[in-house]
């Protein structure tokens, strides 16, 4: 049974990661437009990694001068980016933050301290072999961040969401996800397309939840679309449906499927990223947030053998 619907979701704090590349620049542009629409606090975030060497004297930072130089250059780049965004959106509340930590540890510390609602990251789309083996930054954020994550393809340049696709494929947090979807649709004057999708063995549960959400949409919005399909290839069919529906945004639950597969195969998340060319919003319930933080000593550790 789904929870009783209460429209209270809002996006108050947006964090966008940047490494000053083209794909992250596109994500920053998207984040600034979203922050303006939602009157949200916008955080521009960059990490500077430490590199450690461990020998008999203990853990030592390698080339601290290089790290400091990187920090100062990143700080100036963030200030330039902030000034550029303020010129376009004078009303924005912008904060720049740099963490001297690993990406996920630094990111989650800020998520906890600033009560971040969504992290926005740029993605280049289809993963190359190196990314499949080592992992991409955007995929690391998707699986490691303690809040919702939105991935923006480098080739996507539309900044409003007029057609919002909301698949119903698992039962977790469906009410909360629809709540947020309706809040985003309201800010964009958008239309929600509800897509019930499941394999044969899930039909009773998913169909029931889908019908309840359809009823909620009918009671709370003037315009929506709804469709139900049965398939084993959920990610592929969602991607195909998004193209046919001309979706501007797909809002998904953060629960992966087929996560046991090796990096040479594709789980649900990777299939969605690799086969979809529109922004993907992975909803993660803030009430289930992990509040653990880094001890501040994370980084790349090169351990040398101790002679003798």
Residue 152 to residue 246: CA distance in whole angstroms = 16
- Please tell me if the domain spanning 11-159 has the same topology as the one spanning 161-275: yes
Q: How does 202-216 read in b/e, with b if 16+ C-beta sit within 10 Å?
A: eeeebeebbebbbeb
User: What integer pLDDT is reported at residue 139 of this predicted model?
Assistant: 87
Q: Does domain 161-275 have CATH number 3.40.50.620?
A: yes
In tens digits, the chain (308 residues) has pLDDT values of 455 545 556 899 999 999 999 889 999 999 999 999 999 999 999 998 765 555 566 655 555 567 788 889 999 999 999 999 999 999 999 999 999 888 999 999 999 999 999 999 998 865 454 444 334 788 899 999 999 999 999 999 999 999 999 999 999 999 999 999 999 999 999 999 999 999 999 999 999 999 999 999 999 887 899 999 999 999 999 999 999 999 999 999 998 886 555 455 578 998 898 889 999 999 998 777 654 444 444 443 333 333 33
Structural domain spans, the chain: 11-159, 161-275
Q: How many CB atoms lie within 10 A of CB 127?
A: 20
Residue 74 to residue 77: CA distance in whole angstroms = 5
CATH number of the domain at 11-159, out of 3.40.50.620, 3.60.20.10, 3.30.70.270, 3.30.830.10?
3.40.50.620
CB 29 within 8 A of CB 41: no
Q: Six-digit token pair at 125?
A: 């789309």
Q: Where are the beta strands (DSSP E) in the chain?
A: 13-17, 41-47, 51-55, 58-61, 93-99, 118-123, 148-153, 163-168, 191-198, 224-230, 249-253, 280-283, 300-303
Q: How many helices (DSSP H) and strands (DSSP E) are in the chain? A: 9, 13
Q: What is the 3-state secondary structure (H, E, C) of 173-237?
A: CHHHHHHHHHHHHHHHCCEEEEEEEECHHHHHHHHHHHHHHHHHHHHHCCCEEEEEEECCCHHHH
Facing residues of 149 across strands? 119, 282
User: What integer pLDDT is reported at residue 256 of this predicted model?
Assistant: 85
pTM for this model (two decimals) = 0.85
CB 99 within 8 A of CB 65: no
């Amino acid at each position: 049974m789904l929870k009783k619907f209460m429209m209270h979701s809002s996006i108050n704090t947006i964090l966008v990661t940047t490494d000053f590349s083209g794909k992250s620049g596109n994500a920053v542009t998207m984040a600034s437009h979203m922050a303006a629409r939602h009157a949200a606090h916008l955080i521009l975030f960059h990490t500077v990694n430490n590199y450690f060497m461990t020998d008999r004297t203990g853990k030592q930072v390698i080339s601290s001068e290089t790290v400091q130089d990187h920090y100062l250059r990143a700080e100036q780049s963030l200030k330039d980016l902030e000034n550029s965004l303020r010129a376009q959106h004078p009303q924005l509340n912008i904060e720049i933050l740099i963490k001297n930590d690993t990406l996920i540890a630094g990111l989650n510390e800020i998520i906890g301290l600033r009560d971040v609602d969504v992290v926005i990251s740029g993605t280049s789309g289809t993963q190359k072999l190196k990314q499949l083996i080592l992992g991409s930054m955007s995929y690391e954020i998707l699986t490691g961040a303690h809040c919702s994550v939105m991935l923006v393809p480098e080739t996507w340049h539309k900044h409003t969401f007029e057609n919002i696709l909301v698949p119903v494929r698992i039962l977790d947090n469906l009410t909360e996800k629809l709540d947020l979807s309706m809040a985003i649709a309201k800010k964009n004057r958008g239309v929600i397309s509800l897509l019930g999708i499941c394999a044969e063995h899930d039909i009773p549960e998913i169909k029931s939840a889908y019908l309840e959400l359809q009823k909620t949409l009918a009671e709370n919005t003037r315009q929506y679309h709804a469709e139900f399909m049965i398939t084993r290839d959920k990610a592929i069919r969602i991607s195909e449906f998004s193209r046919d529906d001309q979706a501007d945004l797909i809002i998904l639950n953060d629960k992966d499927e087929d996560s046991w597969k090796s990096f040479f195969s594709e789980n649900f998340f990777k299939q969605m990223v690799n086969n979809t060319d529109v922004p993907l919003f992975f909803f993660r319930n803030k009430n289930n947030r992990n509040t653990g933080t880094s001890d501040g000593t994370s980084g790349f550790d090169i351990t040398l053998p101790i002679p003798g």
